[in-house]
Amino acid sequence: MSNPAGVSTKFDLSAYLHQRQEWVENALTAAVPVHYPERIYEAMRYSLLGSGKRLRPIFCLASCELAGGTVAMALPTACALEMVHTMSLIHDDLPAMDNDDYRRGRLTNHKIYGEAIAILSGDGLLAYAFEWLVRQTQGVKPEALLEVVARLGHAVAATGLVGGQVVDLESEGKPDVTVETLHFIHTHKTGALLEISVVSGAILAGGTQELIQALTHYARNVGLAFQIVDDILDITGTAAELGKTAGKDLQAQKVTYPSLWGIEESRRQANQLIQTAQDVLAPWGERAIPLQALAEFVVARSH
Amino acid sequence: MSNPAGVSTKFDLSAYLHQRQEWVENALTAAVPVHYPERIYEAMRYSLLGSGKRLRPIFCLASCELAGGTVAMALPTACALEMVHTMSLIHDDLPAMDNDDYRRGRLTNHKIYGEAIAILSGDGLLAYAFEWLVRQTQGVKPEALLEVVARLGHAVAATGLVGGQVVDLESEGKPDVTVETLHFIHTHKTGALLEISVVSGAILAGGTQELIQALTHYARNVGLAFQIVDDILDITGTAAELGKTAGKDLQAQKVTYPSLWGIEESRRQANQLIQTAQDVLAPWGERAIPLQALAEFVVARSH
C-alpha cells in the first residue's frame, strides 16, 4: 500500500503541476489561434487561456503515463478536456443559468463579449474539442481514440454534465433537496468530465481493463471529494481566494454537502474518499504516485 | 451529362424522400429516449423529432449509397448530423441571437422550456451526436469514422457554422454588407454542415478521393443554391409556408442575395448552381440520380 505521507516528501507535486500546466497552456494557446471572425476566437481564448489549474488535462496526462504512455500521446485529449470544461463554465455563467459576473477572478465571458458570443464560444469550443483530439493525436490506435470520443460525448451530454446542470437548476431555491439528488448533480455536473479526464489517458495508452476500472473508482472518489471541498470553500473562502463571488450557494439557497453534514463531517468524508482513491491505485506502485499526490492536492485546498 | 428533366420522370423522389424520412425519424426517436432528468430529454426531442425535412441526413445516406455503402452504415452519422443541425437551430433562435418565437411552424425551444434548458438542449445534442455516431456505426473502418468526427467538429466550430453565425450577427442592421461577407456567412453558417452531410456518407463507405472531391463541389453548389432559395422564400413566402416568421430578414435589415441581385437573378443563379452540381456527379451515372434529384428539389421550393 502507498504511504501518502511518505509520498509528499519524495514527490515534488508543485514542480510536477507547474511543468504540466505550462505544457497544457502552450498547447491550448497554439490550438486556438485568432482568425476571422476574430471576436469569436478572442472570446474562446479569453475563457480558455491564462487561468485555471488545468486539473482535468493533468489527470489525463498522469493516467496516460501511469498506463505506460507518453505525455505527447495524451496532450491533444488533455486540451480537448479543458476546452469542454471551459464551454461548461461559459454556459453555466450565462444570465439564463447561474448568472455569474466573475469566474476565476475575472469578468465572465458574456460580461465582456455579450451573451450571443458567449453561447457561440461554448458551442465552438465543444465542437472543436472533438476535431482537435482526433486531428492531433498521434501514436494511438484508432479504436482507442474512438472510445475516447464516445466517452467524452457521453460525459458532456444529458447523461453527463448537461444532465447534472439541469438537475442543479431545478433544485435551486428548494430547501428539501435530498442527498441522492445532490449526489446526482455532482456525479454528473462535475464527476462525469473528471472521470473521462482520468480514464481517457489510460485508454489512449492501451491500459488494461483492470487499470481502467481502478481509475474509474479513483476518479469517482476524487470527483466527489473535489465537490465537497468546493462546497466548503464557498462557505469559508473569500472572493479573492475563490476568484468568484463567495457565498453564492447560500444566497441561492442551494443544498450543499456542508449544509447537509456540517463542515467538519464534510471534511472528514472528503479525506476518506481521497484515502480510498489512493489505496485503489496502490497496486501500480511508484507509477501511481502522481495521481495519488493529485488526489491529496484536491482536498488540501480546504484546509 | 445527366438529363435532370429525364431524371424526374424515371426517379420517384417523393417516395425516396418519404422512405428515408421515416428511417431517419425512427432512428432519431430511438436515439433520444426519455430518462431522468426528463425535462432535458423532452426538450431535445421537442426540437429534434416530428418536423423538418431531414435533408442533411438524406444527403448523407444518398452519398453513402453512391459510394457503394449501405443505408445502415450511414444512419448513425445521418442522425448525428440532424442532432447538430437541431442544436444550431435551438441556439440561433435564442433571445440573445435571432430571437425567434417560431420554427418549423411551432414555438421555439426556449419559448416552451425556457432559455436555460434551450441552451443545455443544444449542448446535449451536440455532444451526444459524437457519442451516437461513434457507438452506433457498424461495418465502417475506424479511420473513416475518425475522419467523419474530425470533419463534423470542424463544420460546427468557429471554422464552420459558429463562425458563420458570428458574422451574421455582426452584419445585422448594416446595410453595407458586401457580397463577400454574405458569402462567408452562408458557406459557414449553412454550407459547412451541408458539405459534411454530403461528404460523410462517401467517407464512411470508403469512397475514392475523386468522388469525395466531386461531392464537395456538389455540396458547395447545392448549399449556396439552398441559401439563395431560403432568402427568396423569406421575401415571397408566407409564415404558413415557411413555418417561421416571414420577412425577418427585411425587418432585421439583413443583406440577402435577392437584396443584392433581385429575385429573378437570384433564381437564375440558384438554377445555375444546381445544374453544375448535377453535372459534377454525371460520371457516376445512375448511382448519382438520387443526389441529382435532391439538388433539383432544393431549388424547386422557390417556384
Q: Residue A190 gets which letter from DSSP?
A: I
Print pLDDT tens along chain B (303 aa). 444 544 445 799 999 999 999 999 999 999 999 999 999 999 999 999 988 899 999 999 999 999 999 999 999 999 999 999 999 999 999 999 999 999 878 999 999 999 999 999 999 999 999 999 999 999 999 999 999 999 999 999 999 999 999 999 999 888 788 889 999 999 999 999 999 999 999 999 999 999 999 999 999 999 999 989 988 988 887 555 555 555 666 666 677 889 889 999 999 999 999 999 999 999 999 999 999 999 999 888 644
Using the Cβ of B263 and the Cβ atoms of chain A, whether some distance falls under 8 Å is answered with no
Q: Counting every residue, how long is chain A?
A: 303
pLDDT(A16) > 80: yes
Q: CA-CA distance, B226 to B240, in Å (whole number)?
A: 19
Quote the pLDDT of residue A20. Answer: 98
Which has more pLDDT, A290 or A235? A290
The CA distance from A8 to the nearest CA of chain B, in Å, is 38
* A41: closest chain B residue by CA: B158
Phi and psi at residue B254, to the nearest 5°: -80, 140
Of B120, B130, B165, the CB nearest to A166: B120
Q: Is pTM, for the whole model, over 0.90? A: yes
Query: Chains A, B: CB contacts under 8 A, how many?
Result: 168
Taking only the tens place, the pLDDT of each residue in A62-97 is 999 999 999 999 999 999 999 999 999 999 999 999
Average pLDDT over residues A137-156: 98
Could you count the other beta carbons within 10 Å of the beta carbon of residue A268?
13
- Output Rg (C-alpha) for chain A, integer angstroms: 18
Q: CA-CA distance, A160 to A168, in Å (whole number)?
A: 12
Does the beta-carbon distance from A162 to B120 stay under 8 Å? yes
Predicted confidence band of residue A10 (pLDDT cuts 50, 70, 90): confident
Q: CA-CA distance, A93 to A104, in Å (whole number)?
A: 12
Using the Cβ of B91 and the Cβ atoms of chain A, whether some distance falls under 8 Å is answered with yes
Structural domains of chain A, ranges and CATH numbers in brackets: 13-300 (1.10.600.10)
Quote the pLDDT of residue B86. Answer: 97
This model of the complex carries an ipTM of 0.93
Q: Which of A84, A120, A151 to probe the B interface (max B CBs under 10 A)?
A: A120
Taking only the tens place, the pLDDT of each residue in B110-158 is 999 999 999 999 999 999 999 999 999 999 999 999 999 999 999 999 9
Could you count the other beta carbons within 10 Å of the beta carbon of residue A142?
16
Does the beta-carbon distance from B162 to A123 stay under 8 Å? yes
- Please say whether the dihedral angle defined by the alpha carbons of residues A145, A227, A182 and A254, taken in this order, is positive or negative: negative
- The H or E element that residue B106 is part of is strand B106-107
- Please say whether the dihedral angle defined by the alpha carbons of residues A269, A271, A277 and A282, taken in this order, is positive or negative: negative
